[in-house]
Amino acid sequence: MATQNSTKLAASGSARERLLDTAEALIYAGGIHATGVDAIVKQSGTARKSFYTHFESKDALVAAALERRDERWMNWFIAGTLQHGKTARTHMLGMFDVLREWFASEDFHGCAFLNAAGEIASPDDPIRIVAREHKERLLAFVRTQCDEYVAESGMDARRAARLSRQWLILLDGAIAVALVSGEADAALDARAAAEALLDIESASESDPLAVQSASRSQGKALSKRPPSRRTTT
């Protein structure tokens, strides 16, 4: 009996994973509303009965798939970020290098969580909640790096919260521009803006006049980068 139960659980778990895998892939590529339960069931190779055994609705499946993607994406992003250099500054700027690799991949379709939030109107919908929690988790990671940067640079610690919010906007902005334009180098533009932001924050701490100089340098840096097309990897 124990063996039979284990076999049933393994088969059940396998069906659930296939449903999650398929739902995530189809929804990320085509959107929530454009992806029906029948397509998910058919492509996953499961029975419709299996779907309702594991999920009470399509929305429940989508929320579960996004929760799993959140865990995987954050692990990937954190690991990639921390591989860039040994200081908080190199880690923070390295985030944009990590994003560029993602933007250049053939299966890049933007941020799954921003995409999902754009399709779901209610802020209390489980799907919107998962999307919001993902951004909160990303912001929390960014905040740890900002805290470390502030400590390294000797800046006022109170600036870390604002800097982390600005950093998240640069990250999400780069993702949105890369999706719409097809330009992987949107990450490089965001990186240049981020680097200028750090320079300005540091300069304003010691010399307000240096802020103007840092701003002019940023304008020159952006104007020198030649346009490029997104490549595939």
Dihedral angle of Cα 86, 89, 92, 95, to the nearest 10 degrees? -60
Domain with CATH 1.10.357.10 in the chain: 63-224
The full DSSP string for 88-109 is HHHHHHHHHHHHHHHHTSTT--
What was the pLDDT predicted at 14? Answer: 85
The CATH homologous superfamily for domain 63-224 is: Tetracycline Repressor, domain 2 (1.10.357.10)
From first to last of its 233 residues, the chain has per-residue pLDDT tens of: 333 443 343 344 589 999 999 999 999 999 999 999 999 999 999 999 989 999 999 999 999 999 999 999 999 999 999 999 999 999 999 999 999 999 999 999 999 999 999 999 999 999 999 999 999 999 999 999 999 999 998 888 888 999 999 999 999 999 999 999 999 999 999 999 999 999 988 776 655 454 455 445 545 544 555 555 444 43
- The domain 1-55 having CATH identifier 1.10.1040: the answer here is no
**What are the CA-CA distances from residue 14 to residues 10, 25, 66, 150 (Å)?**
6, 17, 18, 46
Q: How far apart are CA 64 and CA 232, in angstroms?
A: 29
What was the pLDDT predicted at 153? Answer: 87
What was the pLDDT predicted at 6? Answer: 35
What was the pLDDT predicted at 156? Answer: 85
Dihedral angle of Cα 172, 176, 177, 183, to the nearest 10 degrees? 100
What was the pLDDT predicted at 202? Answer: 77
Residue 130's H or E segment, with its range, is helix 126-153
Task: Compute φ and ψ for 154, nearest 5 degrees.
Answer: 80, 15
Contact 233, 105 (CB under 8 A): yes
Domain with CATH 1.10.10 in the chain: 1-55
Cβ burial of 229 (10 Å; 0-12, 13-18, 19+) is exposed
What was the pLDDT predicted at 117? Answer: 96
Residues whose CB is less than 8 angstroms from the CB of residue 168 and which lie 6 or more positions away in sequence, other chains included? 135, 138, 139, 142
